[in-house]
Chain A
Amino acid sequence: MRKWILPSAIVAMALASAGAAHAFMDEGTVRVGHIGILTGPGVDYGTQVLNGLKVAQDEINQAGGVTVAGKKVKFDLAPYVYDSARNVAQAIALTRKLALSDKVLAVFGPVSSNEAVSVFGVLQRKLGDSVDTGLQLPIMNTSAMRDGLGEMSPWAFRNATVEQFLLAESLPKVIAARGPIKTASVVYLGSEDYGPAMLKSVYGPLLEKQGIQVVSADGVHEGDRDYSALIGKLMRLNPDMLILLARYDVGAKTMIEAKRQGFTPKLVWASGMISQELIKTGRAAVEGMMMVSSYDATVPRAAEVAKKFKVAAGVEMNEFGANSYEALYLLKAAIESSDLRNTAESVEEDRRKLQAALRQIKGFPGLIGNIDMHPSVNDTIKQGLVVTIRNGQFDVWKP
Chain B
Amino acid sequence: MSFLLQQILNGAMYGCTYALVGIGFNLVFGVMNMINLAYGEVIMAGAFIALALVVFLDTPLLLAGLAAAAACAVIGMIVEWTCLRPIRGAHYMAPLLTTIGASIILLEIFIKIFSTEEWLFPTAFEFSQIKVAGLTVRVPYLIILGVSLTLMIALHFWITRTQNGRAVRAMAENVDAARLMGINVDALTSLTFALACALGAIAGVLIAISSSIVSTTLGSEMLLKGFVVIVLGGLGSIPGAALGGVLLGIVEGVTVAYLPSLYRDFFSFGLLMIMLMARPTGLMGKRIAERA
Chain A: residues with CB nearer than 8 A to chain B?
A: 39-41, 43-44, 190, 216-223, 225-226, 228-230, 232-233, 236, 249, 252-253, 256, 259-261, 277, 280-281, 283
Contacts and interface: CB of A to CB of B under 8 A. Distances in A.
B257 A233 contact: yes
Interface stretch (B31-39, B113-121, B191-199): B113-121
21 contacts: A41-B217, A44-B117, A218-B256, A219-B261, A219-B262, A221-B262, A221-B264, A223-B215, A225-B207, A225-B210, A225-B218, A225-B221, A226-B14, A226-B252, A229-B256, A249-B117, A249-B118, A260-B129, A277-B118, A281-B120, A281-B213
Nearest to A39: B116
Given A43-B116, A221-B264, A232 B213 contact: no
Given A190-B261, A229-B256, A281-B120, A223 B14 contact: no
A220 B117 contact: no
B128 to A, nearest CB: 9
A358 B191 CA distance: 66
Contact of A236 (B3, B14, B254, B255): B3
B215 to A, nearest CB: 7
Contacts of B252: 226, 229
Contacts of A252: 118, 213
A62 B139 CA distance: 57
A1 B127 CA distance: 61
Contact of B116 (A40, A217, A221, A283): A40
Given A40-B116, A260-B127, A226 B210 contact: yes
Nearest to A277: B117
B111 interface: yes
A228 B262 contact: no
A232 B7 contact: yes
B111 A39 contact: yes
Nearest to A253: B213
B115 A223 contact: no
A256 B212 contact: yes
B253 interface: yes
B221 A41 contact: no
Contact of B260 (A218, A225, A249, A280): A218
B218 A223 contact: yes
Name the residue in B117, B253, B257 with the highest tally of chain A Cβ atoms < 10 Å from its Cβ.
B117
Contacts of B265: 221
Nearest to A219: B262
A382 B144 CA distance: 49
B221 A223 contact: yes
Interface of B: 3, 6-7, 10-11, 14, 111, 115-118, 120, 126-127, 129, 136, 138, 207, 210-213, 215, 217-218, 220-221, 252-258, 260-262, 264-265
Contacts of A226: 10, 14, 210-211, 252-253
Contacts of A220: 261
A40 B118 CA distance: 10
A170 B37 CA distance: 50
Nearest to B115: A43
A223 B78 CA distance: 28
A289 B197 CA distance: 40
A281 B118 contact: yes
B207, B252, B255, B256 pick with most chain A CB within 10 angstroms = B256
Contacts of A190: 261-262
A5 B120 CA distance: 48
Nearest to A283: B120
Contact of A225 (B116, B213, B256, B261): B213
A154 B82 CA distance: 55
Contacts of A256: 212-213
A225 B262 contact: no
Given A218-B260, A230-B256, A232-B7, A223 B111 contact: no
B262 A259 contact: no
A261 B6 CA distance: 12
Contacts of A283: 120
Nearest to B9: A228
A217 B263 CA distance: 12
Given A217-B260, A218-B261, A41 B120 contact: no
Nearest to A216: B260
Nearest to B122: A283
Given A260-B127, A281-B120, A219 B260 contact: yes
Contacts of B120: 280-281, 283
Given A220-B261, A225-B211, A41 B254 contact: no
Nearest to A218: B261
A229 B257 contact: yes
